[in-house]
Amino acid sequence: MKLLITAGPTVEPIDPVRYLTNRSSGKMGYALAAAAAKRGHSVLLISGPTSLEIPEGVDYLPIETAEEMYQAVAAQIGKMELAIFAAAVADYTPAKVAEQKIKKSGEEMTITLTRTKDVLGSAREVMGFKGALIGFAAETENVIDNARGKCLRKGCDLVIANDVSRRDIGFDSSENQVTLVYPDREEVLPQDSKEHLAFHLMEVVEDLAES
């Protein structure tokens, strides 16, 4: 199967030396890409900057900003049968990137941010993607309700939800505990290493893509 995976954080520049980013390590998306390649799929990994090695046998497309992520996905998704959106894409980006390093002046400063495009939320209606669509939802409260809302709103077949208020799992950790949230049901999976979990998740999404 041909599949696209987004992973890692995005990096939104403020000026030549500063940027806005988030705590995504990319581990879950990279583990999924590695598992998918080992299971014989053709994998394109579109990723923001991480400290991880590119998994063997995976095609790699580096991006930095949310806009670059959007453009890269829009250009590639038409060829794919399955798309998994594990990236932590910035929801807002500085309205203007200063050409020169911003000098300090008053006691306070304000940076105006504007909304970025929702890459996953554009896959169906804007990009016309017809394959199996899988999102992630990083939540700190009402995990299942919030994840189901995202699943329905963004036209996903499955949203993999995790509770990022737990410090032992998620973002920078090597373990994760997720709940599979489908449009009409959910299934809680046991806590596991991101590598084991990635293999199991690939089995789940392969079944979805074939059904």
| C-beta closer to ligand CTP: residue 16 or 78 | 78
Catalytic, 22? Answer: yes
Site size with ligand CTP, rule: CB under 6 A: 15
Assess 3 for contact with ligand CTP (CB under 6 A).
no
* Smallest distance, ligand CTP to C-beta of residue 141, A: 10
Assess 26 for contact with ligand CTP (CB under 6 A).
no
Find, among 194, 162, 165, the residue nearest to 28 by Cα: 194
* Smallest distance, ligand CTP to C-beta of residue 66, A: 5
* Smallest distance, ligand CTP to C-beta of residue 6, A: 6
Query: Looking at beta carbons, which pairs linking 206-210 to residues 24 or more positions away fall under 8 Å?
Result: 206/1, 206/39, 206/82, 208/132, 208/134, 208/157, 208/158, 209/1, 209/81, 209/82, 209/131, 209/132
Report which secondary-structure segment, H or E, holds 135.
strand 132-139
**Under the rule (CB under 6 A), what is the footprint of ligand CTP?**
6, 66, 85, 87, 89, 91, 116, 118-120, 135-138, 150
